[in-house]
Amino acid sequence: MTTIEATLATDRVDATLRDIVAQIVRLEDRPERITPDANLFDLGLDSLSVVALLTSIEQRFDIEIDVEDIGGGLFESYEALLSFVRSKLALG
C-alpha cells in the first residue's frame, strides 16, 4: 500500500467511524461536535449505546472486538476510539 493509499484508507476509516458515532449519539446534524478530543460519554454515549456502537463498528469494518479490548479509556476521546479501530484494521 502506498502512502497515498494508506492516507485515503485512514481518511475513509475516520469518516465512516465519525458517521457511526454521530448516528449512535444522535449528532447526525452536528457532526462537528465529534472532535478528536471529544469524550464520547459527554456527547451522549451511555452503557446501552456502547453495545450498539461496538456492534456497528464490528459490522461496518468487519472486525471482532473482544471484551478485553473494551476499557482503558477507549471511549474517553474520539481519537482513542479511532486509533483502536485503525489498529484492528492494521492501519496504525
Residue 82's pLDDT is 96
Q: Where are the domains of the chain?
A: 3-88
Angle 47-61/78-88 helices, nearest 10 degrees? 40
- Residue 22 CA, chain-centre distance (Å), reads 10
Confidence (pTM): 0.86
pLDDT tens per residue across span 26-71: 998 888 899 999 999 999 999 999 999 999 999 999 999 999 999 8
Q: Domain 3-88, what fold?
A: 1.10.1200
Question: At 26, phi and psi to the nearest 5?
Answer: 60, 50
What gap in Å lies between CA 36 and CA 78, rounded to an integer? 5
State yes or no: pLDDT of 3 exceeds 70.
no
Residue 10 reports pLDDT greater than 90: no
| Distance from C-alpha of 63 to C-alpha of 18, rounded to nearest angstrom | 17
Check the CA dihedral 53-28-14-32 and report its sign. negative
